[in-house]
Amino acid sequence: MKPLMRPYGDTLNDGKMQLSFTLPMEVGPKGEAVAKALCETMGVADATVVHSEALSEHFSFYILYGTLTHAVDSDAVEVRDIDTESMSKDDIEAYIDAHFDHPITFIGASTGTDAHTVGIDAIMNMKGFAGHYGLERYRHVKAINLGSQVDNETLLEEAIKHHADVILISQTVTQKDVHIHNLTAFIELLEAENRRDDFLLIIGGPRITHALAKELGYDAGFGPKKYAHDVASFAAQALVNKRSQSKR
């Protein structure tokens, strides 16, 4: 039997869902009808408006419950995740020792106009985050953190200057897809300078996923609850793979 998936309220396959959204129209019966009609078009049947209120004369807010008529075959859903194994700090250090005759150089920054540093610091700085030490504390790793508001050109210059193996980019502000524009611009810059293959490119931030990273032309992406050892594990193994591929 196929594991068809539907949301669960209190009975298997009842398909119960809650939704809430704002409409740019006056509150009232018409607004409620529109909200229900929208649910219907999404495949949420028998939607009931359990709450509605005016946000101003021209805007209204709705909470609805309904029954989802769709189901998804969970076997057919693919997850695009990092396939290398995540190792502990000690194991990573031993791995680097065994596979590299020089320390791995990571250079990182929070780029563009983004001034958030806590994310990149969590990965790179000595102290790390949530009990996971940062790259700076790793043996056989050189971690250069350029801080925030670093423009793409500067990041590339510094990466070349320090012979970096891995470039780490953090993006926190995502409004109006500013992170997508900025990350795309960096790939374009690398390609224009013919430098794309010189580095392993890793991005991270609260709204970053591995799938997004791949889509944008990066080697990997890390989001919340990922720490230095996840990044270092991936990087060390990916660098070894890259080397063996280029030898072939």
Partner 1 sequence: MKLTLDTHTIDACRRDARHIADAIKTELDPYSTVSVERTVLRMLGIDGVDAFDVPYVNVLVDHVKTHGDLRFGIAHHMAWAIARTTKTPQTIAKRVAEGAMSLGDYFEPTTPDYTVLTPFINQSFARIRTQRQHRETVLENHPAPSPEKYVIVATGNIHEDIDQALSAAARGADIIAVIRTTGQSLLDYVPYGATTEGFGGTYATQENFRLMREALDGYQRHHGRYVKLVNYASGLCMPEIAALGALERLDMMLNDSLYGIIFRDINMKRTLIDQAFSRVISGYAGITINTGEDNYLTTTDAFEHAHTVIASQFINERFAEHARMPATLMGLGHAYEIDPSVDNSFLYEIAQAQLSRQLFPDAPLKYMPPTKHMTGDIFKGTVQNALFNIACVTTKQQIHLLGMPTEAIHTPFMSDRALALANADYIYKAFKAFADSVDIKPGSLIEKRAHAVLDNARTLLDDIREEGLFVTLKKGTFAGVSRGENDGKGLGGVFKKHPLYTNPIMERMLAACEEDAS
Q: Which residues are catalytic?
A: 127
Nearest-5° Cα angle at 58, 54 to 63: 40
- Least spacing, CB of residue 27 vs ligand B12, in Å: 26
| Binding partner of 203, given partner 1, ligand B12, none, CB within 5-8 angstroms per partner class | ligand B12
- Least spacing, CB of residue 24 vs partner 1, in Å: 9
Q: Within 45-196, where are the H helices?
A: 89-99, 118-124, 152-161, 178-192
Binding to ligand B12 by residue 120, rule CB under 6 A? yes
| Binding partner of 68, given partner 1, ligand B12, none, CB within 5-8 angstroms per partner class | none
Binding mask 211-230 for ligand B12 (x = CB under 6 A): -----------xxxxxx---
Looking at residue 164, what DSSP letter applies? -
Residue 53 and residue 27 in contact, taking contact as beta carbons nearer than 8 Å: yes
Residue 40 and residue 48 in contact, taking contact as beta carbons nearer than 8 Å: no
Residue 123 and residue 231 in contact, taking contact as beta carbons nearer than 8 Å: yes
- Least spacing, CB of residue 219 vs ligand B12, in Å: 11
- Least spacing, CB of residue 82 vs partner 1, in Å: 21
Positions 76 through 95 that interact with ligand B12 (CB under 6 A): none
**Residue 105 to residue 154: CA distance in whole angstroms:** 17
Nearer to partner 1 by Cβ, of 135 and 146: the residue is 146
Residue 159 and residue 107 in contact, taking contact as beta carbons nearer than 8 Å: yes
Which spans of this chain sit near ligand B12 (rule: CB under 6 A)? 108, 113-120, 122-123, 129, 168-170, 172-175, 202-206, 222-227, 231
